[in-house]
Amino acid sequence: MHPALTALLAGHDVDLDTWRSWWDQLEQRTPGPARDSDRAQAAALLAALATRLPGPDTLAAFTTSLTERSPHPGPAHPASVNIVGTGGGPATFNLSTAAALTAAAIGVPVVKTGSRAYTSSAGSIDLLERLGITLTSSHTATADHLARHGIAFAGPHVYPPALTRLARVLFPLTLKPFGRLLNTLGPLLATVPVTAQLTGTSAATDLDALRHLAPRTPGRTVWLATNTAGADELLPFADNTLHTPDTTIHLPAGSVAPTGGTLADLAPHPEDLTGHFLKALAGRAGPTATHTIALNAAALALASGRHTHWHTAHTAALDALADGAPLALATRLRADHADHKAPAHA
């Protein structure tokens, strides 16, 4: 049994060198009789991490041991931002993706990461696939998309390759039973060339863990958002709190956007996933949806440094939604995807 697993099961801290040894062993694994043992140890280790998040030092060492093996994304794009939540909490439609497109429509460079559905009816990747919007396949492609469109949806290349290797070791088991753990840590495991990141957290335990990890995330400033409704997005009708490296920002209900509305106004529409989403981008999914998208887009504008005042950023986002700019951007991205898929003619 590897020392990392032994220490976790005993409730002890696991240091960086021990985690490095774990991934080294995983890389050197060869097919043969040891495969069942490798699978069992990998499953036990993930189960130990998922059952109860270990202390901050162990988590920091774990994330560092993964991200240091990822290809470096290069320098961050100036004043750029990512928005990604940890999942969980009340079910809502894809607000962070809508906010990303809206922020890009008001001039904020956005490189968005995401995942497939774990607790929701459709994750951001599921939605983008149905919309026909391309995920980038490399850091070079991300830079190209950002230069052409002001936004890029990053593909799996931003996540540590060791996680793919781990999934192969687990096969035919899947990573889905450990989705909550991976969704919690995922926002900080991605290597994204941005200067800032907004991450919503729906559970107090997630927030506690991420508040210790966020300052150690290299290359970008992480804002952590939480609210009294337990959602992983900012909500205009809830009291919101943003934890930044320098301060804590309190946004009481109604302080930026009107307080009207409830979570029911933000419910997902799995039977009309793309239709409802595109309607929301045009500001036609109801006032609660429109103000929620604008509030999160405003947070991106402030985190990136493009805006310095909440009300002006929120108004700019509302104006963009009213003008249809986020919808027009999504339409261009879909057309770009279609053009690249079209067969070449001699």
Strands 196-200 and 221-227: parallel
Any domain includes 60: yes
CATH number of the domain residue 144 falls in: 3.40.1030.10
How many domains would you assign to the chain? Answer: 2
Report the percentage of the chain scoring pLDDT > 70: 94
Neighbours of 342 (CB within 10 A): 8
Same domain, 132 and 279: yes
The answer on pLDDT for 346 being more than 50 is: no
Same domain, 209 and 254: yes
Any domain includes 52: yes
CB 332 within 8 A of CB 149: yes
* CB neighbour list of residue 31: distance below 8 Å, 6 or more residues apart: none
Closest to 45 (Cα-Cα) out of 67, 71, 25, 73? 25
Same domain, 134 and 26: no
Any domain includes 74: no
Neighbours of 336 (CB within 10 A): 16
Same domain, 264 and 316: yes
Structural domain boundaries enclosing 16: 3-67
Mean pLDDT of 14-37: 81
Strands 221-227 and 240-243: antiparallel
Any domain includes 325: yes
For the chain, what is the radius of gyration of the CA atoms? 20
- Nearest-angstrom CA–CA distance, 203 and 195: 25
- Nearest-angstrom CA–CA distance, 306 and 194: 13
Any domain includes 162: no
The answer on pLDDT for 276 being more than 60 is: yes
Same domain, 9 and 133: no
- Describe the strand order of the beta sheet including 196-200 as a list of residue ranges: 151-153, 110-112, 81-83, 196-200, 221-227, 240-243, 248-251
Record the tokens describing residue 292, joined without a space: 């929620």
Same domain, 96 and 204: yes
* CB neighbour list of residue 102: distance below 8 Å, 6 or more residues apart: 281, 293, 294, 296, 297, 317, 320, 321, 325, 326
- Nearest-angstrom CA–CA distance, 31 and 234: 47
How confident is the model over 293-309, as pLDDT tens digits?
999 999 999 999 999 99
- Nearest-angstrom CA–CA distance, 330 and 114: 17
Same domain, 232 and 327: yes
Any domain includes 118: yes
Q: What is the pLDDT of residue 317?
A: 98
Tokens 């957290």 belong to residue: 201
Which of 19, 43, 67 lies at the terminal end of a domain, its last residue? 67
How confident is the model over 157-170, as pLDDT tens digits?
999 999 888 888 88
The per-residue pLDDT of the chain, averaged, comes to 91
Same domain, 103 and 11: no
* CB neighbour list of residue 18: distance below 8 Å, 6 or more residues apart: 3, 4, 7, 61
Same domain, 9 and 124: no
Any domain includes 172: no
The model's pTM is 0.92
Mean pLDDT of 100-109: 98
Same domain, 205 and 117: yes
User: How many angstroms separate the Cα of 12 from the Cα of each of 22, 65, 66?
Assistant: 16, 17, 20
